[in-house]
Amino acid sequence: MPSASALLICFVVGMTDGDTMAARCEDGHGLKTYKVRLSEIDAPEKDQPFGSRSKRNLSNLCFKQPALLQAQGKDNYGRLLARVEFDGVDANASQVAMGMNRPSRGSMISRRNCNAHHEVLILPFTAGRARVA
């Protein structure tokens, strides 16, 4: 597992849901595939309303794209926690800005800041139900 501050050059090879992906990365010892949990955001589960839409949006943003991952440690499931950037776009903040995910507690991602550049605001899912403004 890379150090908590490592910057990894990767290629996104799979999607699990709206905040988890698989990425093939150069880690200094060759190529390795990591299960990556996008940090500071929370997505609905696949079987919850809006879950498949969140996953599809993340896939449309960065599947089969080169990406930079700013590692931030690992979660309780052993997944690499990271901020993900592709083509100069912050995937974590984009998911929030597009209403696909919500910021996690204590997150530096602010829904207000994310939506400053978007015309449509979709409020975060609540108790498994999506609300559209």
With residue 57 as reference, give the H or E element that holds it.
helix 51-62
Q: Which residue numbers are catalytic?
A: 37, 45, 79
Q: Where are the domains of the chain?
A: 7-115
7-115 CATH, one of 2.40.50.90, 3.40.50.1010, 3.40.640.10, 3.40.50.460: 2.40.50.90
pLDDT tens digits in sequence order for the chain, 133 residues long:
788 778 999 999 999 999 999 999 998 889 999 999 999 999 998 888 899 999 999 999 999 999 999 999 999 999 999 999 998 899 999 999 888 988 887 666 655 555 444 433 333 333 333 433 3
For the chain, report the end-to-end CA distance as a whole number of angstroms.
40
Dihedral pair phi/psi, residue 26, rounded to 5°: -90, 115
> Hey, is 52 helix, strand or coil?
helix
Assigned token pair, 34: 């990591």
Separation of alpha carbons 22 and 73, rounded Å: 16
* Model pTM score: 0.78
Q: Which of 25, 30, 36, 29 is nearest to 72 (CA)?
A: 36
